[in-house]
Every structure is written in structure tokens, then in C-alpha cells.
Amino acid sequence: MPILAHEIMTPTIKAVPQNWTMDRLARFLTDNEITGSPVTDDDGEIIGIATLKDITEFRWNASRSENQPKLTAEEQDEARRLRMVIFEEMGKVPVEVRDIMTPLVFSVDENTPVRDIANVMMSEHLHRIFVTRDSKITGIITTYDMLKLISDKELSKRCAACD
């Protein structure tokens, strides 16, 4: 009998509201020792996911200098200076989670075999996927949860028996 999503999922989900600042999100993720969190709207519905990668990419893109061969060295220096001024000013306006989150939410049913979940996670390059029952989110499966299939002897035996 295949191992199903509900057997390895983490049933508690630490979600954050869309109007939190990016800095508050970073502290929350660090404090909870997680790399990402679902994002909820004002009604508590999950509308996306925000990760440390989203924070990093936002900050990196804001400070990155592009190579523009059409500009002279002086013009490139001035463009770089202006980008830094804009970035510093952006820092004064709080960036909210809704501004950096990924709005796509991948999910599987509680009765989905873990092999199918692994295939989705691999093909979509996901580190986490939500688990649902009747379209309501009941848990989350992360790459850590998938490792349980290897580290837990009973689950490993069951996996091997399904091949």
C-alpha cells in the first residue's frame, strides 16, 4: 500500500499576513527556523508563499548594476549612484510580503501517494507543497518531510514494498 500525503505532512502551518513588512517576515522565518511561509489575505485565505529566496532576490535585484555598454564610464557611475539612491529611498518605504511573494500555490490531496508528490516537487522545483482535503489546506509537505521516507525505517520498508 503506497504511503499517502497525510501520513508524512506537517499538520501545523505557520502563515503570515500579506501586509507584514519584508523585514518582519525575515525575522519570523529566522525565529521559526523555516525558509518559507504561506501568505494569507485579510480573510485568512492562503494566496501565495514567501521565502527567504524571495527576500534575497528582491534585495539583490534592487542593488544590482546592469552592464550597459552604450554608456560611458562616467554615465555608468552616475546610473549606479542613482540606483543606490533609489534603493536607499525604497528602504524607507516598507516593502510588504504581498510585494515579494510568489502568488502560485501548489497543492495535493491528502490521499495523494508520496511518489506522485515527489514527482511534482521535482518537476516544479518546489521545496514545499500544501496538502488539502475538500479544497481546504490541512498541512504542508516540505523536503524535510520527504526525508522522513528515508530516515524512518518503517516508512522506508513501506516505500520499498511499493516498488
pLDDT of residue 18: 96
What is the overall mean pLDDT for the chain?
A: 85
In angstroms, the CA 46 to CA 15 distance is 8
Domains and CATH numbers, the chain: 5-56+96-162 (3.10.580.10)
Res. 68 pLDDT band, cuts 50 70 90: very low
38: β partners: 49
In angstroms, the CA 113 to CA 129 distance is 13
Is 112's pLDDT higher than 90? yes
pLDDT of residue 90: 59
pLDDT of residue 79: 77
In angstroms, the CA 32 to CA 87 distance is 28
pLDDT of residue 65: 52
Res. 43 pLDDT band, cuts 50 70 90: confident
In Å, what is the CA distance from 157 to each residue of 84, 91, 143, 162?
A: 56, 52, 19, 9
Of 5-19, 20-34, 36-50, 83-97, the poorest mean pLDDT is in: 83-97
3-state secondary structure of 109: strand
Side-chain half-sphere of 157: how many Cα atoms within 13 Å?
A: 2
Query: Do 148 and 138 form a contact (C-beta atoms < 8 A)?
Result: no
- 36-40, strands of its sheet edge to edge: 16-17, 36-40, 46-51
Evaluate if pTM is beyond 0.85: no
Question: DSSP secondary-structure letter at 2?
Answer: -
Nearest to 93 by CA among 114, 123, 62: 62
Is 83's pLDDT higher than 80? no
Question: DSSP secondary-structure letter at 130?
Answer: E
Say what percent of the chain tops pLDDT 90.
Answer: 47
pLDDT of residue 44: 83
φ, ψ of residue 16 in degrees (nearest 5): -125, 150
